[in-house]
Chain A
Amino acid sequence: MAELARPAEEYSGGPRAGAPLPPVPLLGFVIATAAVIFIAVLTYRTLQTRSAASARVARTIQVMDELQAVLSFAKDTETGQRGFLLTGEESYLEPYTNARVALRPEIARVRDLLVDDPVEQQRLDALEEVINAKLAELESTIVRRRSGDVAGALGLVRTGRGKIYMERIRALVGQMETTERTALSTRERDWQNAEQLSSNVTFGGSAMLLLLITAAAYMASRDYRARRIQAWLRLGQMAFTRSIQGEHRLEALGESVLAFLGHYLGASVGAAYMAEGSGQFRRFAGYALDNADQEVIRPGEGLLGQAAKEHRPLHVKSVPPGYLPVVSATGRADARELLIAPAVANGSVHALLELGFFRQIQPEDEELLARTSEALAVAVRSSRDRTRLTELLEETQQQGEELQMQQEELRVNNEELEVQSRTLKDSQAQLESQQVELEQSNSQLQQQTQILEYQKDELESAQAILAQRAADLERANQYKSEFLANMSHELRTPLNSSLILAKILSENRAGNLSPEQVRYAQTISSAGNDLLTIINDILDLSKIEAGKVELAVETVALSRVLDTLTKTFQPVAQQRGLGFSVSLAPGTPERLQTDAQRLGQILKNLISNALKFTEQGEVSVQVSPGASHSVQFAVRDTGIGISEHQQNIIFDAFRQADGSTHRRYGGTGLGLTISKDLARLLGGEIQVASIPGTGSVFTLTLPQSLSDAAAAPAATISGAVASAGQTPRRLPAEIAGAPSAAAVPRQPTALSGWGTPAPASIEDDSLQLKADSPLIVVVEDDATFATILRDMTRELGFQCVVAHTAADGLAAVATYRPKAVLLDMHLPDSSGLSVLDQLKRNPHLRHIPVHVVSVADHSQEALALGAVGYALKPVKREELVDGLRKLEAKFSAGLRRVLVVEDDERQSDSIRELLQIGDVQITASRNAADALQRLREMTFDCIVLDLNLPDVSGYELLQRMAEQDEVAFPPVIVYTGRSLTRDEEQALRRFSRSIIIKDARSPERLLDEVTLFLHQVESKLPLDRQRMLQTARNREAALEDRRILVVEDDVRNIFALSSLLEPKGAVVQIARNGREALEALTASSARGAEPIDLVLMDIMMPEMDGLTAMREIRKRPEWKKLPIIALTAKAMRDDQERCLAAGASDYIAKPLDVEKLLSLVRVWMPK
């Protein structure tokens, strides 16, 4: 606004509006005019005076001349008269007449000339009178003469009157002349005075005019100069305004202002400062300026500050040397004078201008600066306002942008939700239609259900009848068993006596019997013995079936058993013309732990059977070691053989291979049944292989040792007719109380003391177990369902072992240590619950997850006992799959062991309490020595370690663990109440992946971390890490004892790199940032220290980043060739180029590729 006001002011006094000239020149002109008028008047007056004086002088002279003329005329008249008088001649009268005529006008002329002099007038009057008188006298004379009275005339002349008159005339004229002469001198003096005055006036006037002209010239010149300055200023202002016009950026504004002023004012150097609020000024532009000068001026600081404070320009004339140097490419010089102008607008300083000159500063320079600085202030202010506005606008735009994006995000999310809800709606519609369909089929089903129900009712009633019958049958069966037992007893008693008597008779002690009679007696005895065998068989079978067999387990020498057999059967075979041999394969154990009598019974049975069915050839018994600590007795014959389909039934009670066989060979047919049952009782089995017509092999397989305990569950083994649940409760008590394999060597079978499982009737994987896939034991008595379960488990990638009874099941679990168990509740020999109970009580087996599948609902109890799941039969396939998956999830966790090393008992207990979840087994250790001992004894999945231990510190313990090769190094969780320094933490990080500081939330985290480690098996590690572990397992000559400095602050990477490089034999040194790396390198290059061979350098690090560190390293000549491999998370080409530029020898991008890193290290490792 201010710059507009000025022209307005200037033009307000326009030509039409006021004085034609400014007041001072006007006054000058007025004075000059007055002076000229004055001089003119004065000159005129002087001239006037002079001319008056001169006129008077001239008149006086004329008067005198006239007076002389009068006098002369008077004389002439007298002369004429005299001449006439004398002569009388008229010609002498001529002067008289002439004078007389001329005298009067002459006097009138004098009178005229003296008109203003009364004194002279009077004299003139007197003169005239005298003259008249004279003339009259003359006349009278003349007249007389004429008249010829010469005498009278002469008389008159002689009277003297004429002379008197003449004298009077002369006196009067003399008087008048004197007066006139006096007047003339006065007049001449006057004239001289007037002339003096006139020249004075002329000189004075000239001088004054000269003065005025000089003044006018001076003023005109001044005015002209002022106008030129004004024009210059205006031009400057205009140019200045032009130069700042349209310039919005402050820097450019400053530059153009300075450039303009420098040019326009001829300033040699300049700087522009901008107010920054709170009175501080910052330089924003320079002109020929040395950049080293200060950038920021504080209020009142220095000249600039002073100028800013006072709001007025400062003109500094003697600038101290070096204050504002002018710099050019060729040199520098100091400005001579300095001008500092604050740019003020609205009373506040917006900018400061500082200009240095080599010349003297003129006021107009200051003026221009003052005027332009104001414009500058306005420009700076508006530029800043504009900048601020732009900023605000930009900010608003950005906020708008963010809002818009947020909206967009919401909209996208909304759309997703809509899509989801649409999908939901769709599926809902689908569901609805399905529901309708379902409803329809439901009603159909209902009808069918009704029919089915009806059928079911019928079936049920039939079933009830059947059940009744079954119960009847069972009862009958029982009666039968009891009857048989009783009957055989009843039979045996009389038979006994008849046998004894027959024996006595046959001995014929008295000798009174004929040989025939003796033979009869022998026949009676023999037949009785046969009968007894039959009765014993029946009795045995019923006993076995009734579960009343007691086993007497003892150590049996195999040789003795075989001797007995040879002794017994050699004669029989000989008798029948057959060969009989017994052989013992090498490697067969010498002793068995079993019931000798039952073993003999089985073998006898088999051998006698073999002998019985063999017409020719031989019977051999071969004893050899079997699989998994068992012994096999193979009874081989060359008899009739058994057809395949009969092989299945020969072991059934009361059945023989062929109806005809019975007739031909006799026997009860119970032998094999009993043998089979007994074999099972002894923890073994009998298998048959036969080719009809060629012979058969019956193989009895028995475990090397049958512990006492095994007898009990085995005792309940039953055939199809045995009553289940007869002694269900007895079992667990017996098993639980049984000493756990004290006397037997450590092996899977012995651990549980549950013997070896009998092979199942259906084919399973027990004979071809593979180590690599997980195993599931299925305990299920129903062969069909067992098959289904087996197939299903196989389908899901498990191996499967099937057991049909509780005992077999327990034995199978103990033997195979499966990953999981599928358990039926309803088992022939015992309740599934008891199996579950026993499994869960056994410390070695309790971790195995059990899933129950049953017809009866014991879910509560089963789950209470620790089953993972429960499915009610009939189960759907999906449920089973689901159950299996659940099992899988569970066993993949498996039993985990945690070692808690903590000296404080309460703390230890609380940790134990905390971690006592699922299948975690916790071992507590109070000190380091104990912990090491335990680590030697057992493998742990995880260690929770307190750092404060009574013997050595936790850290030392970790170091010792690392040193000892025989001690496994599980993941360590440091659980400490101490806060750790960075160095401590780093030292621990080499051994421990997780450090927990005790605090309010630490138990939660401990549990979390422990769970994590327990469930993290090697196969679950990321592939890369796994490969890293694998590759890391071999040492490498190239890296052996080489020192690698790993500069990295991320624990994960430090861990990975150490575990990659250290096993290769390299010595890894850690630095957490560039500064530490430099320190480490300095330390390593000291005399006697181990030098560092290679550096792995991370880029993003605190304190000093990798790039800076590399540059620093490369500055030292001795490290110029040190190989540095940069590890960078940045993927772009120029990032990597930046690494190389900073001094990296090579780079590798994160995430690290192990092999690539190793080969890089190999490549760069100095040879």
Chain B
Amino acid sequence: MDAEIERARPDNDIEQQLLIEAIFQKYHYDFRHYAAATMKRRLTAAMVALGSPTLSQLQDRIIHEPDAFGTVLDYLTVPVSEMFRDPGFFRSLREKVVPVLRTYPSLKFWVAGCSTGEEVYSLAILLREEGLLQRTLIYATDINPQTLKKAEAGMYAVDRIAGFTENHHKSGARTSLSDYYTAAYGRAVFDKSLREHVVFCDHSLATDSVFAEVQVISCRNVLIYFNRELQDRAIGLFRESLCHRGFLGIGAKESLRFCAHAQAFTELAREDRLYQKRDPA
């Protein structure tokens, strides 16, 4: 059995590599520098879902059926998010970053890999609470147009709201989360006026370049899916995009420590993975 797996592995790897290359060639989604382990798992799940016994057959379907690719894309991008996730991060943002942000006449945020938008709405709510939303523009980017659509709708199942509310409260909230949504028919729809300050856009950290100078970047639990090379590229983009002394937030299990740009940032809140861009020394 083990020997079989051992023999099967290289084939699998070849197929995976070819498939990812095919996706890049055909649809221009660049997963070539994603962590191989996650790709393997997600592709296996996609195989099961589409009923393709091998990756090659999956590839065949992906190439000839754009709809099948849409499904696979949903599997390849992992939309796990919640509002005010890791409340400590938002608390730090409130305490350490917002006071500095007040000195800017206008603000730009970039939520890279916004998934279904929970983070975006959390930031928008936080900024509204702090009276800064009016002068803020949030760029919410993701590579999956489906999840972007969901993010734009700003609609979440009512049963998730309780968790959101608790997180929101822990983040040092000044208002009640219920001020920002309307619940109906089992769903909570977030206030449209929050969305007025958000630009939802399709952007790939793997292929695209910087589009604006921003004060704050939040890219949480995205880098974990990248290999080191792509992580460096992404953080390079952030470094370029951030204004002088701009702020960068990453996921709780991520670190800039081993990244090529580690020297360009100082730790602002170690536990909450909040960094500030250093002087261009």
Contacts and interface: CB of A to CB of B under 8 A. Distances in A.
B203 A1129 contact: yes
Nearest to A419: B258
B205 to A, nearest CB: 11
A394 to B, nearest CB: 8
Nearest to B184: A278
A277 B188 CA distance: 13
A1149 B199 contact: no
B137 interface: yes
Interface string B40-68: 01100100000000000000000000000
Contacts of B35: 405, 408
B206 to A, nearest CB: 10
Given A278-B185, A413-B258, A1001 B38 contact: no
Contacts of B108: 1050
Interface string B183-203: 011100000000001010111
B139 interface: yes
B245 interface: yes
A1100 B106 contact: no
B213 A997 contact: no
Nearest to A1000: B99
B37 interface: yes
A230 to B, nearest CB: 39
Interface residues of B, number: 54
Contacts of B105: 979-980, 985, 995, 997
B102 A1130 contact: no
Interface stretch (B1-9, B165-173, B247-255): B247-255
Given A404-B38, A1049-B212, A1102-B199, A1130 B207 contact: yes
B128 interface: no
A1099 B212 CA distance: 11
Contacts of A1012: 244, 279-280
B103 A1151 contact: no
A404 B244 contact: no
B31 interface: no
B137 A1049 contact: yes
Contact of B245 (A405, A410, A1008): A1008
B235 to A, nearest CB: 14
A1051 interface: yes
A615 interface: no
A149 to B, nearest CB: 144
Given A1130-B203, A1131-B209, A1005 B100 contact: yes
B28 interface: yes
Interface in A974-1027: 979-980, 982, 985, 994-1002, 1004-1005, 1008-1009, 1011-1012, 1016, 1020
A47 interface: no
A381 to B, nearest CB: 15
Contact of A405 (B45, B100, B225): B225
A401 interface: yes
Interface residues of A, number: 62
Interface string A404-436: 111111101100100000000000000000000
Interface string A1105-1149: 100000000000000000000000111111100000000000001
Contact of B208 (A401, A996, A1051, A1130): A1130
A276 B187 CA distance: 10
A865 B207 CA distance: 55
B208 A1129 contact: yes
Interface in A374-415: 395, 397-399, 401-402, 404-410, 412-413
A228 B219 CA distance: 68
A1008 to B, nearest CB: 6
B28 A1133 contact: yes
B209 A995 contact: no
Nearest to B100: A1001
Contacts of A156: none
A1052 interface: yes
Interface in B234-281: 240, 244-245, 251-255, 257-258, 279-280
B185 A276 contact: yes
A189 interface: no
Given A397-B45, A401-B78, A1012-B279, A1100 B201 contact: yes
A280 interface: yes
Given A416-B258, A1100-B212, A401 B102 contact: no
A900 B201 CA distance: 41
B17 interface: no
Contacts of B161: none
A1150 interface: yes
A421 to B, nearest CB: 13
Given A1000-B102, A1001-B100, A1012-B279, A1150 B210 contact: yes
A1101 interface: yes
Given A1129-B208, A1130-B203, A1132-B28, A408 B37 contact: yes
B224 A408 contact: yes
A563 to B, nearest CB: 65
Contact of A1050 (B37, B42, B212): B212
A990 to B, nearest CB: 14
A1001 B99 contact: yes
A998 B207 CA distance: 39
Nearest to B30: A1132
Nearest to B42: A401
Contact of B186 (A278, A397, A1051, A1135): A278
Contacts of A985: 105-106
B80 A1131 contact: no
A1100 B104 contact: no
Contacts of A416: 257-258
A980 B201 CA distance: 27
B208 A1131 contact: yes
A409 B224 contact: yes
Given A985-B106, A999-B103, A1129-B209, A410 B199 contact: no
Given A278-B186, A416-B258, A401 B41 contact: yes
Contacts of B139: 1100
Nearest to A1005: B103
Contacts of B212: 1049-1050, 1052-1053, 1100
A405 B199 contact: no
Contacts of B203: 1100, 1129-1130
B88 interface: no
A405 B224 contact: yes
B133 to A, nearest CB: 13
Contacts of A994: 244
Interface in A330-354: none
B209 A406 contact: no
Nearest to A1016: B280
Interface string A953-981: 00000000000000000000000000110
A1008 B104 CA distance: 13
A1101 B42 CA distance: 33
B145 interface: no
A1001 B102 contact: yes
A795 to B, nearest CB: 24
Contact of B209 (A397, A413, A998, A1150): A1150
Given A278-B184, A409-B223, 15 more contacts: A404-B41, A405-B225, A409-B224, A979-B105, A982-B135, A995-B105, A1000-B99, A1001-B99, A1001-B103, A1012-B244, A1051-B213, A1052-B213, A1100-B199, A1129-B210, A1131-B207
15 contacts: A278-B186, A398-B78, A401-B80, A405-B224, A406-B251, A406-B252, A406-B253, A408-B224, A409-B253, A995-B104, A1002-B103, A1020-B280, A1050-B108, A1101-B199, A1135-B28
Interface of B: 28, 35, 37-38, 41-42, 45, 78-80, 99-100, 102-106, 108, 135, 137, 139, 184-186, 197, 199, 201-204, 207-213, 221, 223-225, 228, 240, 244-245, 251-255, 257-258, 279-280
Closest 5 CB pairs of A and B: A1129-B211, A406-B253, A1050-B212, A1132-B28, A277-B186
